[in-house]
Amino acid sequence: MEDIIFGKNSVMEALISGDREINKILISKNIHGDSKLNKIKELARENGIVFQFVAKEKFIPYAQYNHQGIIAQISPVQYKDLDEFLKETKGENLSVVILDGIEDSHNLGAIIRTCVCAGVEGIIIPSRRNVQVNAVVEKTSAGAINHIPIIKVNSLVNAVQKLKNSDWWVVAADAGAEDNYYDINYKDMNFALIMGAEHAGVSKSLLKLSDFKVKIPMLRNFNSLNVSNALSAIIFETVRQKLQK
């Protein structure tokens, strides 16, 4: 089974990370060369990966994907096992993000990008009632998917328990919380941040397990931040706390 990934960033980042087996890269004869394309060809040559220039008609089946005239056939993303992740991930001031019921592929892609930029160690998703990694997620993540483990679990409750048993603290984003997200000191702990579904929020069973519940203050009577934007506000606050003198 192979996946197809689309666009210059996706293909380039897959080449850079080297974690996934790339079978073949197809490039439209009609696209203009640029520095990204040159880099892709260079990396492909270095790694002995075939690339072919093909007629633009080859891309018609992928018209919905904003492919920019370049696709690659690649082995699927390997989900990581939580136990394995916890065994390998040792250190201080680490973070993971837990997604509880995110349904939109664009949101998952944007969240993956944001997590990589913010140095998050891994993203935990449940195997049901959450979007899985698909072609739109890969494309929206702009290749970031190749730089962070996605950990799939059968039960988020069990996963949170395991994290707590391994001395991770658990922070849940909850519109009804008393504390604002910036009232918490994220500096001296490993923490997991739980973000909930766009409408329903974080499940009650997970809220109950959380050590902290935090909200983002809303300055207008309009309480509906997109989940990837909410995550960005919170996670970069944790980065600020870690970096600011």
**Contact positions vs a second copy (CB under 8 A):** 9, 13, 106, 110, 113-114, 116-119, 140, 142-144, 147, 180, 182-183, 216-220, 222-226, 228-233, 236-237, 239-240, 243-244
Q: Are 149 and 123 in contact (CB under 8 A)?
A: yes
Sign of the Cα pseudo-torsion (76, 106, 70, 46, in order): negative
- Which lies closer to a second copy via its Cβ, residue 48 or residue 217? 217
In the chain, what is the greatest distance between 2 CA atoms, to the nearest angstrom?
58
- Report the nearest approach of a second copy to the CB of residue 102 (Å): 14
Q: Which is nearer to a second copy, 29 or 240 (CB)?
A: 240
C-alpha 98/C-alpha 238 separation (Å) is: 15
Q: Which is nearer to a second copy, 148 or 160 (CB)?
A: 148
Query: Which of 55/218 has CB closer to a second copy?
Result: 218
Q: Do 213 and 115 contact (CB within 8 A), yes or no?
A: no
Token couple for 24: 């073949």
Rounded to whole angstroms, how far apart are CA atoms 65 and 195? Answer: 27
CB of 114 to a second copy, least distance (A): 5
Q: How far apart are CA 193 and CA 171, in angstroms?
A: 5
Least distance CB 40 / a second copy (angstroms): 16
**Could you tell me the smallest distance in angstroms from the CB atom of residue 161 to a second copy?**
28
The position carrying tokens 């929020």 is: 201
Choice between 113 and 213, CB closer to a second copy: 113
Please give the DSSP secondary-structure letter assigned to residue 176: T
CB of 155 to a second copy, least distance (A): 28
